[in-house]
Amino acid sequence: MGRVTVRKPVRMLTAHGTRRRPDALAAEEPLELRVSGKALAVTMRTPGHDVELAHGFLLSEGVIAAREDIAAARYCDSVDDTGRNTYNVLDLALAEGVPAPETGVERNFYTTSSCGVCGKAALDAVKLRTRFDPSGSPFSVTTQTLAGLPDALREQQRVFAATGGLHAAGLFTSDGTLLAVREDVGRHNAVDKVLGWAVLAGRVPLLDCGLLVSGRASFELVQKAAMAGVPLLAAVSAPSSLAVELAEENGITLIGFLRGHSMNLYSGEKRIVEG
């Protein structure tokens, strides 16, 4: 498996002078996802939890709905100049009866570490219909519980603590228990990894969980939440206008600027209990 961190020499300049020291950087490497040997997507990610990432990606693209929809996953056909496997190509076999993803000329699946839908050309192409409607979920959470979640997430961001260069996503219950936390250089990858964990754990649809992200709430993250049936998305930073619109359309509670006991409620206020 590729390295999660890489050490590089750095010259550090401060008011007290300069010095040279090794610095830990978050690793970033390409991952090519294939379905039955056919290239589907390339994303720049932090190595690790790649099988979860693949399951989460296929879930959020509407290709699969459960772990049983994937028959096998294996690394293949990617070696470095010494002949060693780089673990940067992952091939997935769909279970019998699961339709292959449709890839037409209007769709380019290449994504960077900062954007999960950059390859989709138009709004109609990026909006997907979820199999798991989150609007009727009775999930609720108190403001007191929400206030403690960012610190709880940060405590589990081990690679961020070493590098300062990773996003995080976590799934939590109504009492604030973090079920799973994943890190990645791409915020959409972090979400795909944690949703992939849920797929493999047999927990989808996630109608009884909330999703917490360490950065902003973009359209793509709201869509991923909707595709997994997540009724609440909380972000420590700002949402975009389209993220709010999509949350409203799908009956998702959207929280932004979650910092301590301060937060903004943009949609779905019925799930928030003050106190």
Annotated catalytic residues are 115
Please give the DSSP secondary-structure letter assigned to residue 156. T
Number of residues written out for the chain: 275
Do the Cβ atoms of 212 and 170 come closer than 8 Å? Answer: yes
Strands 5-14 and 17-26: antiparallel
Crossing angle of helices 241-250 and 219-227, rounded to 10°: 20
Alpha-carbon distances of 205 from 132, 134, 160, rounded to whole Å? 6, 9, 29
Which residues, 6 or more positions from 227, have their beta carbon under 8 angstroms from its beta carbon?
Answer: 59, 60, 61, 62, 128, 130, 131, 132
- Cα separation of 104 and 122, whole Å? 13
Closest CA to 109 of 47, 35, 183, 49: 35
Where do the DSSP E strands lie in the chain?
5-14, 17-26, 29-35, 38-45, 70-75, 89-94, 110-111, 141-142, 167-172, 178-184, 210-213, 232-235, 253-259, 262-267, 272-273
Tracing tokens 């772990």 back to the chain, one arrives at: 67
Structure tokens at 270: 């019925």
